Amino acid sequence: MNRLLAATALTAALVAAPAAARQLTIDDVSALSRVSSPAVSPDGHWLVWQQRETDLTIDGGRFDLWRLDLTKKGAAPEKLAAEGDVNETAPQFSNDGKTVYFQSDKGGDDAVWSVGIAGGAVTRLTQFAGGIGGFKVSPQGDKLLVWADRLPGAPSLEPAMVKKDANAGNGRVYDQMFVRHWASWADGARSQLFVLPLTARSATGNGVAIGGKLVGDAPSKPFGGGEEVSWSADGKTVFFALREAGRIEPLSTNLDIFSAPADGSLAPVNLTDANDGMDNLPTASPDGKSLAWFAMKRPGYEADRQVLMLRDLASGKVSALTGAWDRSVGSIAWAPDSKTIFVTAEDTQENPVWSVSPVTGKVTRLTGEGNVSAVVPTATGVVFAMNSLTAPDDFYALSGKKTTRLTSVNAAKLAGVEMPTVTRFNFKGANNDTVWGYAVKPAGSTGKVPIAFMVHGGPQGSSNNSWSYRWNPAVFAGAGYGLVAVDFHGSTGYGQGFTDAIRNNWGGWPLEDLQKGLDAATTKFAWLDKDNACALGASYGGYMMNWIEGKWPDRFKCIVQHDGVFDARAMAYETEELWFDEWEHGGKAYFEDPAAFEKWNPVNHVTAWKTPQLVITSEGDYRIPYTQGIAAFTALQRRDIPSRLVVFPGGSHWVTKPKESRQWYGEVLGWMGKYTGAK
């Protein structure tokens, strides 16, 4: 069986489609339950996780805690903490396995709470004001590490008293760059680490800061979490990743690994100062002997190979465990006996679990098809979350070579939905390299179907075998399109050289791959209507839509461009993470080497534009600011090209709210249907 089809077959076996099967829609996807943050009790008895349910009244989701008895075959999931209008998240077990600690926003600010694994009343443990971002309990269960936004240098969690001048204006004032990041303006606060004493009934006081004089965010923003902090086995030290702030912060990818005593008695020590590339995911071994993390070699490059590193905590000796393995480590977890490290790493459109020997560095693949999104080692194996192109996340157990499915969380919601068929293909692309792609065929389709040619973002990313709540290939197939995706040069999961090939080459080899890939797909799959295609993409994929407008103007009946770069010059001065844009175009600022940016600048080819285009952007997108979308729309309108502009208020680089997601798909499918005739 094709590896990409295995997850589909598994879903079909568990959710048998009735006679009146129907296609998947965005209404289905936006209503699905979403599982994440799994935790397993030390004795392997219980699995606990957070589960999100869509709530259209708040245009978002609400989170509850669920549990599953792993000792009973066929046991059904049960709610553990699920108070209405309250979010319960981030479960962690006590060292005796009897208590589950979690984060809750009951009463307003987030705090740490606890509940017995058998259920019962919940108890609030922290009482300080100002809320938290997250927490981790020490291995001994006697201390609580929390991270929270506070002003730099704050000695404790007690919020600073800031006197406001009633006559002052509300203008923001800055003296250095990084004035905004992702979807937020800088307000002076930093995510900082604090430690509190913990008992079964409370975590009292405002804690003590352990970051010393460091100024930066730990965990990093906007997406860092508990994976970036780690307790030592004896509970006396905290390891954390941090990029020191300053005038070069928007130019630097140099996160380092620091160690700090949990009592705040000494200043943190930089363990990776010798490496100017990124160091992250510090993960201490349970036996207290080692610290694992990943390291990137090249400064300023956010998509360099992530090599698994190991430090002997007694001697300080450091080794690159996966230095000879041409794959990039995405997550790290130790086995309870410290004899194995489990990692995830992309490999040719899959994201499996691998084991790594901390002694020899030997790497062994443990899972096949699918995208593994979370890994929790246990005494008997591994519990992991996995999804695919045709199935959202569920939990599985791996023991030896045997994999057992533990949950079917969305079985009822997907009952009657017939998923599409996914087939992988490859061809000779630019530089005569092998390039991979896949085609998604609508379920039950006969004859030819119009094409949705989807280009992924990143650009260092992959159209891999994973479920998406934003750009979901199965939804396009459900709307009657044969979706084609190609992992062009620059994509991940094929070795670092392939990923690096897009630098200084944004509109070169990737466009050649896309052209050859679409031709290969339409030659191989007779059910694709070669002459009835629309192209669509976001971020770098949106850039490619604007590039296609000028460089491949006669191929598509319509284009959908979301948050794409239109003018490379403006982008170089407007974006927030300058390291990304400058690295991609050779490593210099625009004013130092304008030719490197102008070579692949879509604005220079507007006179060739002719394809009808839908432009989508968000006012709160600071990665590729919404002005880029407005500029593209202006170019289209001034050339009298059929065009439409959708602007989401607030938001970010992504569309994540359920109502906005449904509107997004309505606009996109409506635009494509107008030009392809699909209904």
Catalytic residue set: 539, 621, 653
Query: Which residue, among 389, 443, 388, has the nearest Cα to 417 in the 3D structure?
Result: 443
Give burial (CB, 10 Å; 0-12/13-18/19+) of 208.
middle
Integer angstrom CA distances of residue 128 from 6, 194, 262, 516: 49, 12, 19, 59
**Beta strand segments in 5-74, E:** 34-40, 46-55, 60-69
Q: Rounded to whole angstroms, how far apart are CA atoms 540 and 433?
A: 21
Cβ 283 vs Cβ 293: under 8 Å: yes
Query: Which residue, among 533, 484, 476, has the nearest Cα to 664 in the 3D structure?
Result: 476
Query: Which residue, among 142, 115, 121, 137, has the nearest Cα to 46 in the 3D structure?
Result: 115
What string of DSSP letters covers 215-284?
Answer: -S-SS-TTT--GGGEEE-TTSSEEEEEEPPPSTTGGG----EEEEEETTS-S--EES-TT--S-EEEEEE
Q: Rounded to whole angstroms, how far apart are CA atoms 289 and 313?
A: 6
Q: Residue 596 is inside which H or E element, if any?
A: helix 594-598
21, 26, 31, 35 alpha-carbon torsion, rounded to 10°? 100
Q: Rounded to whole angstroms, how far apart are CA atoms 571 and 602?
A: 12
Query: Which residue, among 96, 43, 33, has the nearest Cα to 66 in the 3D structure?
Result: 33
**Helices (DSSP H) in 461-501: which residue ranges?**
473-478, 496-500
Contacts of residue 166, Cβ cutoff 8 Å, sequence gap at least 6? none
Q: Rounded to whole angstroms, how far apart are CA atoms 248 and 299?
A: 12
Integer angstrom CA distances of residue 537 from 241, 401, 409, 455: 33, 38, 30, 5
Where residue 404 falls (left for φ over 0; alpha for ψ -120 to 50; beta otherwise) is beta
Give the count of beta carbons closer than 10 Å to the beta carbon of residue 27. Answer: 12
> Using only C-alpha atoms, what is the Rg of the chain?
25
- Side chain identity, residue 207: G
Q: Rounded to whole angstroms, how far apart are CA atoms 584 and 595?
A: 13
Handedness of CA 114, 161, 154, 134 (dihedral sign): positive
Q: Rounded to whole angstroms, how far apart are CA atoms 613 and 490?
A: 25
- Side chain identity, residue 18: P
Q: Rounded to whole angstroms, how far apart are CA atoms 322 and 299?
A: 19
